[in-house]
Chain A
Amino acid sequence: MAKKSIGPVRREFSPWENPEHPPFIEFRNVTKKFGDFTAVKNLSLKIYEKEFFALLGGSGCGKTTLMRMLAGFETPTSGQIFLDGQDLAGIPPYRRPSNMMFQSYALFPHMNVAKNIAFGLKQDNMPAADIEARVQEMLQLTKLEQFAKRKPHQLSGGQRQRVALARSLAKRPKVLLLDEPLGALDRKLREETQFELMNLQEELKMTFLIVTHDQEEAMTVADRIAVMDKGELVQVATPAEIYEAPNSKFVADFIGDVNLIEAKVAGKSEAGTKMVSVTDGFAIECDQVTEATVGETVWYAIRPEKVRIAQGDTEHGKVNEIGGVVWDIAYLGDVSIIHSKVGEDDNDTIRATFANISRMVENPINWDDKVVLTFDRDAGVILTR
């Protein structure tokens, strides 16, 4: 049997698997309170040198606060933050070896592009000739050469975004902090820029920390993603692990689309787990060995693209096979998402995606068709929380 791994491998880079590897950035039991509100709760996190790390979560989850504490704009209520072995406590933002790209870009409106980029270098009293050379290099890197003399208000959104990036990279910071960097761009430009960011990070060999609420963005660019909720880390893992092996209902639901089926554990062995769904009583078998005991209620999470759908009838009681009736169809071009009502009373909905691999379909699935939904033994994941 071929070796199985979770998802494709982005690049050979996984220092987090070695517990001896020293972290580059470390949050140690960091808590941040604003009055009565706790934005970050006793959070510990290690980020490694040259890593592209994403903080992902909804608004108000504490991801921006965490980044602002690293930049020095907020002081932790308790806990410590280390960067390259140095405790950052008491070091003002202007002495920290990190630079930030702001969500609003925060370009200085009274300075042209070249002066914006040179601003940070001038603060370091760099010789004028060196500044000139570095600015040219940054303009080239971000393809802004012909805009050097323009003021920010004379640029398009995408150009401004590149100026902001060039300005934050100009000082060659140890860490680049990106606060929702692509939020203001349209979809096409955003996807393009995501790949540019990845290439840039590879080329400059810097540590990047990105804050985003866009899961696709995080999955595209990051080596690892930390999913945050209510000031706590829910899961820290590679994009593939987060997607294929979420550790909780929250992560499974937050990242991508998922069917959550409530089930009782009917039996378990080394070969896997047998479950029976609570509402409809269909049988599920899975390779995963759960820590839940027999009789306990768990959730079986299965992504729509891992559910096969075909017209037809099925007998009740077959394993990993459910009969249903088509309830809704969403045509997205590349795929169609089909909602089927399943179970005796049609009271549960299971979503399956149907890849439109051909332009013409002979006998298309239609509303109210009887369908059979099947899935593999390793298609889903058992969640206990």
Chain B
Amino acid sequence: MDTEHVAAPARRSPGAWLLIAVPYFWLFLFFLAPFLIVVKISLSQTAIAIPPYVPTFDLSEGWQAFQEALSAFSFENYVWLTEDALYWRSYLSSVSIAAVSTLITLLIGYPIAYGMARSPQSWRPTLLMLVILPFWTSFLIRVYAWIGILKNEGLLNQLLLTFGLINEPLVILNTNIAVYIGIVYSYLPFLVLPLYASLERLDGTLLEAAEDLGCPSWKAFWKITVPLSLPGIIAGCFLVFIPAVGEFVIPDLLGGSDTLMIGKTLWVEFFNNRDWPVSSAVAVILLLILVIPIVLFQNQQQKMSEKEG
């Protein structure tokens, strides 16, 4: 069978190795190295100094000093994160806001992607362009624009008051609802694009075949279209959920003082309290919260597909 075909171990030329090395080198330099620095800071203690933590490595002081510095590392900051309820409440609140936003984005994005994939071939480039169009304006400006729309004397309230749908302005800005609106609006293209890609590939005769076998179209949607677009749904949801958890700008600009999100907590810790070690610990834990479930999920998927294979 084709699937049992195993490729012979490839003998790569030096050129091929170089080609593979480039992205790994890039990841090492711009992802792993900075991350290790953050981990190092998270194990340090805050201090009134520049930079505002100890110990700092100074290789000119020799091996002895380096070992002393190493022994000064502690997990104190991580312990602290468990002691103050603020942190786990921030994580929980971030994850729940991100999850709800992802769900809403999916509910809005699926029909858009589906409509695009079903539209006449000649329209598709234009529709695709329209989805990407918002990226041509700065993200910050677009979020600021929402303030103008959502505030008490903003466009939305004026419109609703004019039509007599409400008697007094709705308070939307500086609530969690504004945060949801902001996240859904900002991340919608990230969900629509992968979903559109997987829906466009869907073979229309499969739906005809389902209908021919006695399955009405609405049912065929659930039995054929949704399962076959699952890879697109998963990819799109990850692309929304992951950045939404750590989102800072949207809750800062649109959210209220009671909007608890880890990005904001981290900002306050870093800039207001100048506590680099604790904010680094917050960032490391955030990364683990995101990475561990995704790795587990992908392992699961791998196992499932291997079992089927």
CB distance from A179 to the nearest CB of B (A): 10
Residues on B with beta carbons closer than 8 Å to the beta carbon of A95: 214
- A218 interface contact, C-beta 8 A: no
- The CA-CA distance from A168 to B213 in the complex, in Å, is 8
Residues on A with beta carbons closer than 8 Å to the beta carbon of B1: 154
- The CA-CA distance from A94 to B210 in the complex, in Å, is 8
Q: Would you call B210 and A99 a contact (CB within 8 A)?
A: no
- B58 interface contact, C-beta 8 A: no
- Contacting B at CB under 8 A, from A253-287, are none
Given contacts A94-B215, A154-B2, A167-B213, contact A104 B205 (CB under 8 A): yes
Partner of B208, one of A93, A120, A123, A151: A93
Q: Would you call B211 and A106 a contact (CB within 8 A)?
A: no
Residues on B with beta carbons closer than 8 Å to the beta carbon of A178: none
Q: Would you call B213 and A120 a contact (CB within 8 A)?
A: yes
CB distance from A172 to the nearest CB of B (A): 12
- A55 interface contact, C-beta 8 A: no
Residues on A with beta carbons closer than 8 Å to the beta carbon of B228: 109-110
Given contacts A104-B203, A110-B227, A154-B3, contact A92 B212 (CB under 8 A): no
Residues on B with beta carbons closer than 8 Å to the beta carbon of A98: 212
Q: Would you call B216 and A92 a contact (CB within 8 A)?
A: yes
CB distance from B200 to the nearest CB of A (A): 16
- Contacting B at CB under 8 A, from A94-114, are 94-96, 98-100, 102, 104, 106-110
Report B100-134 CB contacts with A as 1/0, cut-off 8 Å.
00000000000000000000000000000000000
Q: Would you call A124 and B214 a contact (CB within 8 A)?
A: yes
- A327 interface contact, C-beta 8 A: no
Residues on B with beta carbons closer than 8 Å to the beta carbon of A108: 206, 209-210, 224
Report B217-260 CB contacts with A as 1/0, cut-off 8 Å.
00100011001100000000000000000000000000000000
Residues on B with beta carbons closer than 8 Å to the beta carbon of A107: 209
Q: Would you call A102 and B209 a contact (CB within 8 A)?
A: yes
Residues on A with beta carbons closer than 8 Å to the beta carbon of B84: none
CB distance from A58 to the nearest CB of B (A): 22
Q: Would you call B208 and A171 a contact (CB within 8 A)?
A: no
Given contacts A100-B209, A102-B209, A151-B308, contact A171 B214 (CB under 8 A): yes
- The CA-CA distance from A104 to B205 in the complex, in Å, is 8
Size class of A's contact patch?
20 to 34
Residues on B with beta carbons closer than 8 Å to the beta carbon of A104: 203, 205
Most buried by B among A72, A120, A167: A120
- The CA-CA distance from A143 to B232 in the complex, in Å, is 36
- The CA-CA distance from A153 to B228 in the complex, in Å, is 14
- Contacting A at CB under 8 A, from B1-59, are 1-3
Which B residue sits closest to A119, measured CB to CB? B213
CB distance from A49 to the nearest CB of B (A): 21
- The CA-CA distance from A270 to B228 in the complex, in Å, is 69
- A71 interface contact, C-beta 8 A: yes
Q: Would you call A73 and B208 a contact (CB within 8 A)?
A: yes
CB distance from B198 to the nearest CB of A (A): 12
Residues on B with beta carbons closer than 8 Å to the beta carbon of A92: 211, 216
Q: Would you call B211 and A94 a contact (CB within 8 A)?
A: yes
Q: Would you call B308 and A106 a contact (CB within 8 A)?
A: no
- Contacting A at CB under 8 A, from B173-229, are 203, 205-206, 208-216, 219, 223-224, 227-228
Residues on B with beta carbons closer than 8 Å to the beta carbon of A120: 213-215
Q: Would you call B208 and A94 a contact (CB within 8 A)?
A: no
- The CA-CA distance from A95 to B219 in the complex, in Å, is 14
Q: Would you call A93 and B212 a contact (CB within 8 A)?
A: yes
CB distance from B27 to the nearest CB of A (A): 32
Q: Would you call B212 and A100 a contact (CB within 8 A)?
A: yes
CB distance from A151 to the nearest CB of B (A): 6
Residues on A with beta carbons closer than 8 Å to the beta carbon of B210: 108, 119
Residues on A with beta carbons closer than 8 Å to the beta carbon of B213: 94, 99, 119-120, 123, 167-168, 171
Residues on A with beta carbons closer than 8 Å to the beta carbon of B223: 119
Q: Would you call B212 and A71 a contact (CB within 8 A)?
A: yes
Q: Would you call B212 and A99 a contact (CB within 8 A)?
A: yes
- The CA-CA distance from A226 to B175 in the complex, in Å, is 71
- The CA-CA distance from A99 to B209 in the complex, in Å, is 9
Q: Would you call B2 and A106 a contact (CB within 8 A)?
A: no
Residues on B with beta carbons closer than 8 Å to the beta carbon of A153: 2-3
- Contacting B at CB under 8 A, from A79-133, are 92-96, 98-100, 102, 104, 106-110, 119-120, 123-124
Q: Would you call B203 and A106 a contact (CB within 8 A)?
A: yes
- The CA-CA distance from A124 to B308 in the complex, in Å, is 28
Which A residue sits closest to B205, measured CB to CB? A106
Report A153-192 CB contacts with B as 1/0, cut-off 8 Å.
1100000000000011001000000000000000000000
Residues on B with beta carbons closer than 8 Å to the beta carbon of A93: 208, 211-212
Residues on A with beta carbons closer than 8 Å to the beta carbon of B208: 73, 93, 102, 106
Which B residue sits closest to A103, measured CB to CB? B205
Which B residue sits closest to A104, measured CB to CB? B205
CB distance from A70 to the nearest CB of B (A): 11
- The CA-CA distance from A151 to B305 in the complex, in Å, is 11
Q: Would you call B206 and A106 a contact (CB within 8 A)?
A: yes
- Contacting B at CB under 8 A, from A319-333, are none
CB distance from A324 to the nearest CB of B (A): 51
- The CA-CA distance from A154 to B206 in the complex, in Å, is 18
- The CA-CA distance from A110 to B1 in the complex, in Å, is 18
Residues on A with beta carbons closer than 8 Å to the beta carbon of B205: 102, 104, 106
CB distance from A201 to the nearest CB of B (A): 19
- The CA-CA distance from A93 to B212 in the complex, in Å, is 5
- The CA-CA distance from A154 to B1 in the complex, in Å, is 7
Residues on B with beta carbons closer than 8 Å to the beta carbon of A154: 1-3, 309
Which A residue sits closest to B308, measured CB to CB? A151
- The CA-CA distance from A102 to B205 in the complex, in Å, is 8
Partner of B214, one of A71, A73, A94, A106: A94
Residues on A with beta carbons closer than 8 Å to the beta carbon of B209: 100, 102, 106-108
Given contacts A104-B203, A110-B227, contact A94 B308 (CB under 8 A): no
Q: Would you call B215 and A119 a contact (CB within 8 A)?
A: yes
A-B contact pairs, 6 of them (CB 8 A): A73-B212, A99-B212, A106-B206, A106-B208, A109-B228, A168-B212
3 A-B pairs with the lowest CB-CB distances in the bound complex, closest first: A120-B213, A123-B214, A106-B209
